[in-house]
Amino acid sequence: MKRTWIMLCILTLVATMFAGCGNSKPAAEETIKGGETTTQTSKDEEGKPDFENKELNIAVFEGGFGRAYWEEVISRFEQEYQGVKVNMTSNPKIMDIIKPQIVAGNPPDFIYAPMTDNTGTVQTMIKEKALLELNDVFDSTLTGESAPLKDKMVDSILNYAAPHSDGKIVVAPFNISTLGMWYNADLFEKKGWKAPETWDELFAMHDTAQQDGRFLFTYQGIYPTYNDNIVFPSIASAGGQQAIEDAASYKEGAFQSDAVRKVFGLFDTIAQKGYLMPGTVAMNHTQAQTEFLKGKALFIPNGSWFEGEMKDAPREEGFRFGFMAPPIFNKGDDRYALTVYEGLFIPKKAKNPELAKEFIKFQYRDDSIKLNAEKTTGIVAVKNASGLVKDFVPESVYNSIKIFEEGVKPLIFQWNVTPKTEININKEMFDAISSVMNKDMTVEQWIERMEGYATKLRELSQ
């Protein structure tokens, strides 16, 4: 009797384990259903757009923006498309959750994730061409609108949504954030300082800042990539779009151009002249940002999420977030600000791609865009966004997109996709800043290093 019991226990144990380990389809589908939020009621099957498969599985990144928007938009979508059932899985680590499904060839129908997703899943899926082409989505016209969707999008953003330069759009750009430099608007007003327009003006503030017990500049220390907010727009400003394109495509001599030399030189100036807040190199992002809020440094690079990110951090009295695009070299140069976006994707192996496309279109309707701003303070990458969302977002976020109405040009930077390699050129480019700040590296050495990696990537791509 006892033995039968033991036998039974072991058998169950073994069976459960194998069931859990196999990447069989039913198991995977069950996981998705586990995340659903809506109730299951049988609805009339007579909605106007009719789809054979009425079940849509979506995976949603639950970052700073939360999931409230998605819950609401799903219920609106289900109301309009009768009989459709949307199953949502949302999680801050959504990519880790869906990775096994993707590997097993059974991905969700729709993914919402930042392009800078730190698991690299999005970038890898782009690299491996595992995403569905979305050109027809952007060629179509939304109900009640006159122009095709592609005309509604922010200028030229769709060029970046086709990363293989074959014209195939694989990313639907969703929330955009603007990145630039931040200062204490309250302090500047009180002291009668003006946000600098050129680098000379910015560097000239050093003496004034010192008299006030402040340093000129700091950045997120052990994560020097935050300086992309400054580097890429400044290169574009000094050398035009061409300089940026040359760099992004690893063109020979791209990093020896005057534009790049000038921009790298800015960091050398900051290091050599003592403009950097001491200790910056050793701080993590929270520490450096806190020091900035406490008034130790005048400027810091960051994105428009800054206010939300630091809402609980201590700060000097009266602190108000002031935003500006990185300065230019000479008055009259074009001024750029880096823009990053989150994407909506449909994997090539999605079970229900047609309905997923409808779902993507639904996100670009004016009322969805407003709903998004209301629930998340996010700004969708459409032309008249600032008008649509003005009432819903904090002042600092609003100011960060208003600069584009004041003549600043948006810049999206993406390194050209290469075959798999151990080289992470973006990391190499910005890690060098630590060495420059420690005076271990000259501008020439930095350029040489970048040219070296660019050559390798160029050879790899051929």
Binding site for other proteins (CB under 8 A): 3, 6-7, 10, 13-14, 17, 21, 99, 102-105, 118-121, 123-125, 127-128, 130, 221-224, 278-284, 287, 291, 296, 420-422, 424, 427, 431-432, 434-435, 438, 440-441
352: which DSSP letter? -
The token pair that represents 107 in the structure block:
């991905």
Rank residues 208 and 284 by Cβ distance to other proteins and give the closer one. 284
Strands 321-324 and 172-184: antiparallel
Which run of H or of E encompasses 341? strand 336-345
Dihedral sign, CA of 149, 153, 159, 160? negative
Rounded to the nearest whole angstrom, what is the least distance from the CB of residue 142 to other proteins in the complex?
Answer: 32
User: Tokens 């020439």 map to which residue?
Assistant: 444
Rounded to the nearest whole angstrom, what is the least distance from the CB of residue 361 to other proteins in the complex?
Answer: 27
Contact 199, 155 (CB under 8 A): no
CA separation for the pair 394, 377 (Å, rounded):
7
Rounded to the nearest whole angstrom, what is the least distance from the CB of residue 135 to other proteins in the complex?
Answer: 22
Rank residues 37 and 435 by Cβ distance to other proteins and give the closer one. 435
φ and ψ of 216, to 5 deg = -75, -40
Rounded to the nearest whole angstrom, what is the least distance from the CB of residue 9 to other proteins in the complex?
Answer: 8
Rank residues 277 and 388 by Cβ distance to other proteins and give the closer one. 277
The token pair that represents 401 in the structure block:
């997109």
The token pair that represents 164 in the structure block:
């293989």
Rank residues 49 and 105 by Cβ distance to other proteins and give the closer one. 105
Rank residues 49 and 278 by Cβ distance to other proteins and give the closer one. 278
CA separation for the pair 364, 197 (Å, rounded):
35
Rank residues 36 and 431 by Cβ distance to other proteins and give the closer one. 431
Rank residues 17 and 204 by Cβ distance to other proteins and give the closer one. 17
List all residues 6 or more positions away from 214 whose beta carbon is below 8 Å from its beta carbon: 295, 296, 297, 298
Q: Is 394 helix (H, G, I), strand (E, B) or coil?
A: coil
Rounded to the nearest whole angstrom, what is the least distance from the CB of residue 127 to other proteins in the complex?
Answer: 7
Q: Which of 10, 93, 112, 95 is nearest to 372 (CA)?
A: 112
Rank residues 125 and 235 by Cβ distance to other proteins and give the closer one. 125
Rounded to the nearest whole angstrom, what is the least distance from the CB of residue 409 to other proteins in the complex?
Answer: 30
Rounded to the nearest whole angstrom, what is the least distance from the CB of residue 13 to other proteins in the complex?
Answer: 6
Rounded to the nearest whole angstrom, what is the least distance from the CB of residue 196 to other proteins in the complex?
Answer: 25
Degrees (nearest 5) of the Cα angle 306, 234, 393?
A: 25
Rounded to the nearest whole angstrom, what is the least distance from the CB of residue 249 to other proteins in the complex?
Answer: 19
Rank residues 188 and 223 by Cβ distance to other proteins and give the closer one. 223
- Burial of 217: CB neighbours in 10 Å, binned 0-12, 13-18, 19+: buried
φ and ψ of 442, to 5 deg = -95, 170
Rank residues 440 and 459 by Cβ distance to other proteins and give the closer one. 440
> What count of other Cβ atoms lies within 10 Å of the Cβ of residue 175?
23
Rounded to the nearest whole angstrom, what is the least distance from the CB of residue 169 to other proteins in the complex?
Answer: 20
CA separation for the pair 258, 281 (Å, rounded):
27
φ and ψ of 174, to 5 deg = -115, -110
Radius of gyration of the chain (CA): 25
Rank residues 126 and 153 by Cβ distance to other proteins and give the closer one. 126
CA separation for the pair 244, 260 (Å, rounded):
9
Contact 335, 237 (CB under 8 A): yes
Q: Report how far apart, in Å, the C-alpha atoms of 62 and of each of 7, 69, 123, 142, 275 are.
A: 44, 10, 18, 27, 38
Rounded to the nearest whole angstrom, what is the least distance from the CB of residue 3 to other proteins in the complex?
Answer: 8
CA separation for the pair 333, 96 (Å, rounded):
44
